Amino acid sequence: MGKRLLILEDGTIFEGEAFGADMDVTGEIVFNTGMTGYQESITDQSYNGQILTFTYPLVGNYGVNRDDYESIIPTCKGVVVYEWARRASNWRNQLTLDEFLKAKHIPGIAGIDTRALTKIIRQHGTMKATLANVGDALEHLQDQLKATVLPTDNIKQISTKTAYPAPGTGRNVVLVDFGLKHSILRELAKRHCNVTVVPYNTKAEEILQLNPDGVMLSNGPGDPDDVPEALDMIRAIQGKIPIFGICMGHQLFSKANGAKTYKMKFGHRGFNHAVREIATGRVDFTSQNHGYAVSREDFPEELLITHEEINDHSVEGVRHKYDPAFSVQFHPDAAPGPHDASYLFDEFMELMDGFQAEKAHR
């Protein structure tokens, strides 16, 4: 393997060892603090367009397997590690990390001080970065990096183009795909839901025609301001069908009800974020991956803040005071991460059942 450079927008340059695909890429650089779950993270579509740094020093030791994909075609731009395991050891292992990244056309860099890099990102905030091979004209790469405008159509790039079913025998759920993780489908399948996945820009009338018992708004990448069409859809179905939003879905549900969102300095990306349920004081350790959050400022009267992050007190969950609708900023589907909050899927089932019972009683 040759040498590879990681060039940051602030002028910092790291030199390391190349692995994965042999190509130059530019994207937003972020870090993930998880100790395991690199396959789930790399294949999580919420990392679309981003260069993903793992703070845990050894990545790839248990390989890549068929069970832990969160999407079939990952769209993160690159992977940064301190050390990648050349030999993987696990009974489920099918590919090494290097083989996997080559197959998915994702370049990697190893052997750099990821702690120093993480400190820079924490200090300066997320920024643009380039992964390039040593030997390419450095000044040209730096000029190109400064001139690069990162895309804002992340959700459009990765959302399904046509609706498709994930058949079940129970409650009928429409899942709006803003960049969904397969683990959401797994949690719904465990509860025997009959799921129809629809594109991010599906109109409210089309969703209502599917006669769902409930609608889920999935996670996804980027800025919630970039998909204004989703807000009209949410407003048009709210009150008519129970709604459960996760991550991007939470931000869009909050915005549809008048809340504001903002870009965080370096976001929450990891599996150890402690979240407090305000009503009960219950604390869950949660899996998170987001760079934007819902603001407490001018918070709409109709919404109630149900959860907050213990460290920075950011809004982690909301519920509508009158309509059967709620959302959370974290991933109750976990994968990877703790399963403390998977009960929220059961709450969604109860919400749908209660709504149907009430409708029948009217």
Q: 233 among the known binding-site residues?
A: no
The half-sphere exposure of 315 on its side-chain side, counting CA atoms within 13 A, is 27
**Residue 11 annotated as binding site:** no
Alpha carbon distances (Å) from 170 to 93, 152, 191, 213, 302 = 34, 37, 8, 10, 31
How many CB atoms lie under 10 A from the CB of residue 169?
Answer: 7
Residue 291 annotated as lining a ligand binding site: yes
Nearest CA among 44, 26, 116, 39 for reference residue 289: 44
Q: Do the Cβ atoms of 155 and 178 come closer than 8 Å?
A: yes
Cα Rg for the chain, rounded, in angstroms?
Answer: 21
Q: Active site includes 247?
A: yes
**Contact assessment for residue 25 and residue 136, using Cβ atoms and an 8 Å cutoff:** no
In the residue annotation, 273 being an active-site residue is answered as no
Q: Is 292 annotated as a binding residue?
A: yes
CA proximity to 302, closest of 259, 267, 331 = 259
Which residue in 182, 268, 273, 331 is the catalytic one?
A: 331
Residue that has been written with the tokens 């979240």 in this structure: 275
46 belongs to an annotated ligand binding site: yes
| 49 in a known ligand binding site | no
* Mode of pairing for the β-strands spanning 303-309 and 261-277: antiparallel
The active-site residue out of 44, 98, 333, 340 is 333
Is residue 127 marked as binding?
no
Q: Which of 44, 76, 247, 290 is catalytic?
A: 247
Q: Is 27 annotated as a binding residue?
A: no
Return the structure tokens found at 231. Answer: 């807000």
98 flagged as catalytic: no
Tokens of 121: 């990102």
Burial string for 262-301 (b: 16+ CB within 10 Å, else e) reads eeeebbbbbbebebbbeeeeeebbbbbbbbbbbeeeebbe
- Binding site feature residues for L-glutamine: 46, 220, 222, 248, 251, 289, 291-292
Residues tagged active-site: 247, 331, 333
